[in-house]
Structure 1
Amino acid sequence: MTTKAKTSEHRIDHFFSMPAARADRWRDIVGASRAWSSGRSNKAAVEAAFAELGPIEEFHAFPGPELMGALRDKLQGDNAVGFTELVRRVSAAIVTRDFKYDAAEWGTADEFADSPADVLPPTLGGRETRRPYFEMLMVAPGATTHAVYQIAEMRKLRRPEDAFIYEMVPVESFEDAICAAIINPYIAAVTIFEGFTYTSRHPAPVLRSVLANLVPEEARREDADLSLLLANSLKRLRPELDVYLLSDRRVESLAGDPRAASIRRVLYAIEEPLELHLSVLEGIQRRFETPFFDNLKKYARRPISTFHALPIARGKSVFKSDWIRDMGEFYGINLFLAESSATTGGLDSLLEPTGNIKRSQEMAARAFGADHAFFVTNGTSTSNKMVHQAIVAPGDIVILDRNCHKSHHYGLVLAGGQPLYVDAFPMTEYSMYGAVPLASVKRALLDLKAEGRLDRVKMVDLTNCTFDGHIYNTRRVMEECLAIKPDLVFLWDEAWFGFARFSPILRPRTAMGAASAIGAWIHDPASIKAYEKQQDELGSDPSADKLLETRLIPDPRKVRVRVYQTHSTHKSMSALRQGSMVLVKDVDFHTVESQFHEAVFTHASTSPNQQLIGSLDVARRQMELEGYGLVLNAIEISLSIRREINSHPLISKYFKVLGADGMVPAEYRNSGFVDFLAPGTTWAEQVRSMHEDEFCLDPTRMTLVCGTAGFDGTEFKALLANTYDIQLNKTSRNSVLLQSNINNTRSDIAQLLRVLLEICNAIETRLAHGGSGEQDAFAARVKSLMTDVPDLPNFSHFHEAFRQDAGRSTPEGDMRTAFYGAYDAAGCEYVTLHGEECDRRLREGPEMVSANFVIPYPPGFPIMVPGQVITQETIEFMRKLDVKEIHGYEKARGLKLLRPDVISAKSKR
């Protein structure tokens, strides 16, 4: 690759692939310098590579101006050996992150600087206790010119009793500050001095196209208040950051300015810098605190005698046993010391928290952008049922994705709500569904309105993102639905998407992110003008078709923002299995708060696991302090997997990762976005897609097509797990789902690619040695998996016996009555799936009505629900299924049905 090509590829604003690219470039310069020092190459290659590093390194505290200056001096002085040794040490420190803990890494090759990243003394256990390290962005006029002096002055403020240690990253423009915040995941705080400029001195065309959606146009005006605009822009980009403003204006009036709400503290610029230093550390401490986990650790250190019903507490029954001591040795003493069924003595009650659990939940609400957060220790299945019970009353209509997790269906059975199922767009080729088009949801609401039944609709319940990575335009969905019914409640199941809060490109599509945006919009005077303008254009009585084709604007004076989000913290963050949260942003929560607590009492265990609660507390801490970088890494990992699989000459012959164009039909990608790695695609186009398109694809979800290698999804999943120790969970008929998360490393990529290559080589060998017979059999297997796929069945309808209070043209039904009707064994019958009776009933009747849920895995959603009329379409799908796991279906007995005479008797009542 030419130097010119490399430069265009590594511009400073290619920020979403920057951390790994940065490490790679340091390794590249190490290779180039070794070639120079050994005489195998000239100095020019090293100079070009070093020049590329310059702009990026300005946005990181390490190596810093002193080390970069030392490298520059050695390069200009033709000291090849000295340059090579120093660049090797810097590169290693970046890859290993030793610079955060080892003061020696900050020194030049000749002498070490003062201790900028010192280490506390060893603990009694002999292990090193390291102070957590972070970096603070300093935006100030002339910051880079006086960087060495400013860094030295801030280092002088350090004290041995400081709980944390930080280094400075000085920049002197608005654009550079944004770039630094995006590129550098170690930045945890920002200090802004007034007087800086707007434009970066580096070329950043991609950054500027992204800023067009992020920064108000007024920031480019000469009279703009850049300090407040930058503070607000940084908080929109990374809301977890603490922002401090140092001003020589009247700080009293500035602190009271509504535009300064995102600033943690305003300081008078000439005051003692120690105040700033202490404020920064206190701000980090505020996020670092984990009230429940901290108290749990203290509890475990106390000599407590237990006289309650938890023999395993304190571990005596384990460690004194001759028979189960191995369990104690496996899990360790702290697990048992931290177990208790008590809710006093420094602990708290999860059911009615008043102490540290309450405080932990308040901190989680802050971190995830909610008004309230509730910890759940038995999974998001329970979280969903809690929300249904709290919000939905018997007879209420809920617009529900038929393709959603079974907990929503069961939640409606328990609450007595009537589902009005809406279907997601089908992806028949891969035997999976996508997400529900907004037009389907709007049509359901408009049909109910036409029937005079809109008042019965309580909630819209959708999955965001779907298991396969389809992300809704949550704000648009809620705004258009609220334009039809302004008091709708929304439940967004974000079981797999909780991490998205900490990505600036994904956050706007989360439930809480969209709810905050709508809340801000309705208080903007321009919102009323936009609404009234559209009303004038629509006229007094617009047709349903006109409303369907219009992007509706709600009346901001009537809108009630009522949004609930559930997420499986354990699925994307560092929480123990079954750790979940319910997040609430509901302006009318006070009207349902008591019933929400009743739902908690109903579904939550009275003996919750203390370790689960502690892990939820810690997961929040981690995401607030390093979640941005961890999510960035997860995205990088996924992009690397996509690129390596789809470009490998042999692997791509048998496997491929589907792009956005393969997962989202073009009609839902109005921006024209094709894929993350399509030639010429920039992150600006991805940001535009996230802003405009009806559906986007979560980059961390990778649908790997394996049918082209002759494997069905279940078979390939088992092969990876049993033979290669690679685990995954979701499959379809001809694909498996790979997920990158905050736990993955580049070593995981290497292992996956090695395994896929080994499998491909085995296929090649088998086909080469097996002759035409083996090749024909392989082709037939691929055809059966990739071409002869069953059509996906849509929801048929509820039997009229379970629609006695339903509308004439709307498909809701009383699923609860049908579900409990099946409790009478005498009122049920069984019909075998492949028998003649099944075909006769389909032709001649009476209709077959499902008595229970039938859920094949895959695809993992109910293809039959209680009270649903079973059609030929559904039977054909089941007959073509080759999966082993079908919940609710007994192969030996057949389909469980409600008897026709029982249904008939019910219809006459």
Structure 2
Amino acid sequence: MRVGLTMPDLGNLTERRQSLECRVVLISSDQQLAGEWVEALNITASQHENPFGLRFESVPLPGVERVLRQEANLQALIVDAGIEPAGLAAAEQLADRLYAFRAQLNVFLVAQDCSLTVSARQRFDELFDRREGNFNQIFRLVQAFIARRASTPFADTLKEYVFSARDAWHTPGHSGGDSLRSSPWVGDFYRFMGEHIFNTDLSVSVQVLDSLLEPHSVIQEAQDLAAKTFGAEHTFFLTNGTSTANKVVIQQILGGGGKIIVDQACHKSVHHAIVLNRCEPVYLKSVLHPQYGIYGPVRRADIEWALEEHGDARLLVVTSCTYDGLRYDLQPIIERAHARGVKVLVDEAWYAHGYFHPDLRPTALECGADYVTQSTHKMLSAFSQASMIHVQDPEFDEFRFRENLNMHASTSPQYAMIASLDVARKQMAMEGYSRLRVCMRMVEKLRRAVDETGVFRALGQDELIPGPLAADNIRLDPTKVTIDISASGYSGKEMQIRLFDRYGIQVEKTTYNTISVLVTLGSTESKLLRLVHAVKQLAQQRRRRLRAGRPRRLPEFTCLTCLPADAYFSDAEELPLMDDGIQAERRLVGRTSADEIVPYPPGIPVLVPGQEISAEIVQFLQQLLQGQAATEIHGLIFRSDEPMLRVVRDAPSREPAGAEPAAGEPRSSGQGP
């Protein structure tokens, strides 16, 4: 819509964007109109400031899909509805197809003597009459909409403020880097980091930069643009990561308590939020792929069972996609939850790019999720810790949400992070599809090169989805490439070290027989060349493995003896985990854990606060700590190098809902398996 549409200073844009070219395609069955309009608009473009390099051309309807798939510079489409009422319906259908393919493009309608419906008006950015003769106006409107999408209101304001060279008599104390610049002791750090990392680090006292906690101008404008770009009703920026985003959303729905259905393998921030908000969790067990030690999603049947069994639950939390790229068929799950009055939070930390390529859609928002949290920094171009919360809850209470957000957000946000969110949003709005198309081609090259070694294998969707999930329509994000290294004779950790030490390559993660790499917007052909070379070299250095490794299966979830919050904040004591093995087991079995104990990898809790400790859990943790390849375990306390577990002295008597049984196991009465 034209409401609120403003044009940036085209004079300033021209110099910076000489190399840009934006194609605008007119789709019409009327060859005469198409020819006249394209000629007139191109003449107009040559006579006016044209910083985006707008170039108009006509394409017949049968050629639209080819243009959508192949044209990286396509930024807008003009759809001619003709003069018949039926043409308007056809134009609306075409607009829906365009949206489903590349939702970021601007789409305009050309119509004549048609009675426009409200839905038709909402489908198009602007309307033009077929008899229009003012092509200057049409050109300016098309340019204005593209300029709006290409704007970065906060990043531009930050840059302008820095270049205005104001004297700083406010925080932070380095005062634009002046405290370090001439220092003989720390001046090297200033030079290493660069001038702008310091002079963009400003105080909330700078009012022209707006307030992240109570935005009214450029930050709010940037967030509104992000909401439109990602397909949300509302979007909020965060500078302390998706960990905080998850806590804010859970507090919004369950602040003060309530029942939450959640994947046991969810991010630790969700478990922390359960403690902070005194939630009553119903834990769902993710499915292990036994061959590769990769934990996938929860079975849909188990989610549906939990929704039926726990009618008083208020929130369902799922992770899609997982660290390894597995993502749910979300729409039937979300519809089932909504039918029972349950809100849905989807942790899309690893899937912020999904909306920008048709092969990766639908996203959680498109499937109806109420809240979606994304780590914009993981796969897109934002700085680390820069994240977004997207909202489309029909019962959204924005005032309460802002209060919940402000409880967790810093009152001294890093402005460079906010600017990076603004810029990352712009990049996806203007070139997300074309950049992801390049990523997909790289993925194909990498997979082909890996498989050609005859030693390594790039695992596909069918190979990564464990049997119990075969009927759940689980999909794979191809930008996460998992490589089976079993035939090389090396463990995942050994391969990771060799790639780093010998070839200067750092991979994302490992299991005992896989390594995983991410293909992102920052992947280049040179990086791909070096990775392929390293893989080929290492394939020639295979060795006989003395003892085949196998994945460590997490012990079964036992049960909760009390609320996690009651356990975490209880009077607790520390008991040794090793202590001659058998003696430790005797003292610990049957006690209630006061902390979350998380082996990494895979980062899934073995114990959560309030969970009863079993002999199997004690033995599992002891095995992880023994040997040369000891596993990192979060949540343990070390006293004089002795690992200790914090357990509740006197567990409260209340027994909330426990975990959903593993696939194939009998279900309990709702208190855990």
**TM-score above 0.5, yes or no:** yes
* Residues 318 and 328 in structure 1, CA contact (< 8 A), matched pair in contact too: yes
Which structure shows the bigger proportion of residues in strand conformation?
A: 2
Q: Displacement, 1:376?
A: 0.5
Q: 2:464 is matched with which residue?
A: 663
Letter matched to residue 567 of structure 1? Q
Q: 1:585 aligns with which of 381, 392, 397?
A: 392
Distance 1:874 1:134 in 2: 59
Q: Displacement, 1:170?
A: 2.7
Distance 1:186 1:492 in 2: 32
1:311-362 deviation line (CA, Å, top 9, x unaligned) = 3233322333333333333333333332310344421111111111111111
Q: 1:133 is matched with which residue?
A: 21
Distance 1:869 1:721 in 2: 41
Distance 1:121 1:191 in 2: 24
Q: 2:365 aligns with which of 499, 512, 517?
A: 512
Which has the higher Rg, Structure 1 or Structure 2? 1
Q: 1:489 aligns with which of 343, 353, 363?
A: 343
Q: 1:235 aligns with which of 72, 87, 99?
A: 99
Distance 1:270 1:311 in 2: 62
Q: 1:831 is matched with which residue?
A: 577
Letter matched to residue 642 of structure 1? R
Q: 1:10 is matched with which residue?
A: none
Distance 2:538 2:83 in 1: 57
- Sort the Cα spacing of 1:386 and 1:153 in 2 relative to 1 into closer, same or farther, 3 A: closer
Distance 1:833 1:628 in 2: 57
> Is 2:9 the partner of 1:262?
no
Unpaired runs of at least 5, structure 1 = 1-118, 198-218, 449-453, 516-561, 671-692, 768-777, 803-813
Letter matched to residue 639 of structure 1? E
Name the TM-score, length of structure 2 as normaliser. 0.88
The correspondence of residues 554-573 of structure 1 with structure 2, limited to 5 A, is: 563-573=370-380
Q: 1:792 is matched with which residue?
A: 554
Q: 2:662 is matched with which residue?
A: none
The correspondence of residues 176-325 of structure 1 with structure 2, limited to 5 A, is: 176-194=63-81, 225-247=89-111, 249-250=112-113, 253-254=115-116, 256-271=117-132, 272-325=134-187
Q: 2:664 is matched with which residue?
A: none
Seq. identity, %: 31
* Residues 18 and 51 in structure 2, CA contact (< 8 A), matched pair in contact too: no
Distance 1:445 1:158 in 2: 61
- Sort the Cα spacing of 1:151 and 1:231 in 2 relative to 1 into closer, same or farther, 3 A: same
Name the TM-score, length of structure 1 as normaliser. 0.66
Unpaired runs of at least 5, structure 2 = 1-10, 656-673
* Residues 669 and 696 in structure 1, CA contact (< 8 A), matched pair in contact too: no
Q: 1:847 is matched with which residue?
A: 590
Q: 1:758 is matched with which residue?
A: 537
* Residues 139 and 171 in structure 1, CA contact (< 8 A), matched pair in contact too: yes
- Sort the Cα spacing of 1:667 and 1:877 in 2 relative to 1 into closer, same or farther, 3 A: same
- Sort the Cα spacing of 1:276 and 1:131 in 2 relative to 1 into closer, same or farther, 3 A: farther
Letter matched to residue 903 of structure 1? A
1:282-309 deviation line (CA, Å, top 9, x unaligned) = 0111111111111101101213122212
Secondary structure of 2:177's partner? helix
Distance 1:438 1:709 in 2: 35
Distance 1:340 1:300 in 2: 9
> Is 2:459 the partner of 1:459?
no
Distance 1:632 1:150 in 2: 28
* Residues 287 and 624 in structure 1, CA contact (< 8 A), matched pair in contact too: yes
The correspondence of residues 426-825 of structure 1 with structure 2, limited to 5 A, is: 426-448=288-310, 454-455=311-312, 457-483=313-339, 485=340, 487-508=341-362, 510-515=363-368, 563-590=370-397, 593-646=398-451, 648=452, 651-653=453-455, 655-665=456-466, 668-670=469-471, 694-763=473-542, 778-781=544-547, 783=548, 785=549, 788-799=550-561, 802=562, 814-821=563-570, 824=571
* Number of positions where the alignment pairs a residue of Structure 1 with one of Structure 2: 638
* Residues 834 and 879 in structure 1, CA contact (< 8 A), matched pair in contact too: no
The correspondence of residues 94-113 of structure 1 with structure 2, limited to 5 A, is: none
Distance 2:14 2:180 in 1: 31
Distance 1:795 1:144 in 2: 70
Indicate the RMSD between aligned Cα atoms, in angstroms.
2.9
Q: 1:673 is matched with which residue?
A: none
Letter matched to residue 512 of structure 1? L
Letter matched to residue 188 of structure 1? Q
Secondary structure of 1:847's partner? coil
- Sort the Cα spacing of 1:379 and 1:834 in 2 relative to 1 into closer, same or farther, 3 A: farther
Distance 1:168 1:780 in 2: 65
Letter matched to residue 262 of structure 1? R
* Residues 422 and 436 in structure 1, CA contact (< 8 A), matched pair in contact too: yes
Letter matched to residue 295 of structure 2? Y
Secondary structure of 1:513's partner? coil
1:554-584 deviation line (CA, Å, top 9, x unaligned) = xxxxxxxx61110000011110111001111
Distance 1:435 1:723 in 2: 35
Letter matched to residue 319 of structure 2? T
Letter matched to residue 324 of structure 1? V
Letter matched to residue 575 of structure 2? E
Distance 2:395 2:38 in 1: 49
- Sort the Cα spacing of 1:122 and 1:491 in 2 relative to 1 into closer, same or farther, 3 A: closer
> Is 2:633 the partner of 1:886?
yes
- Sort the Cα spacing of 1:196 and 1:841 in 2 relative to 1 into closer, same or farther, 3 A: farther
Distance 1:196 1:696 in 2: 43
1:77-102 deviation line (CA, Å, top 9, x unaligned) = xxxxxxxxxxxxxxxxxxxxxxxxxx
Distance 2:276 2:449 in 1: 47
- Sort the Cα spacing of 1:579 and 1:798 in 2 relative to 1 into closer, same or farther, 3 A: same
Q: 1:366 is matched with which residue?
A: 228
Letter matched to residue 656 of structure 1? R
* Residues 854 and 886 in structure 1, CA contact (< 8 A), matched pair in contact too: yes
Distance 1:329 1:129 in 2: 29
Q: 2:239 is matched with which residue?
A: 377
- Sort the Cα spacing of 1:437 and 1:779 in 2 relative to 1 into closer, same or farther, 3 A: same
Q: Displacement, 1:867?
A: 1.8
Distance 2:237 2:246 in 1: 13
* Residues 81 and 88 in structure 2, CA contact (< 8 A), matched pair in contact too: no
* Residues 591 and 613 in structure 2, CA contact (< 8 A), matched pair in contact too: yes
* Residues 733 and 858 in structure 1, CA contact (< 8 A), matched pair in contact too: no
Distance 1:180 1:190 in 2: 11
Q: Displacement, 1:462?
A: 0.9
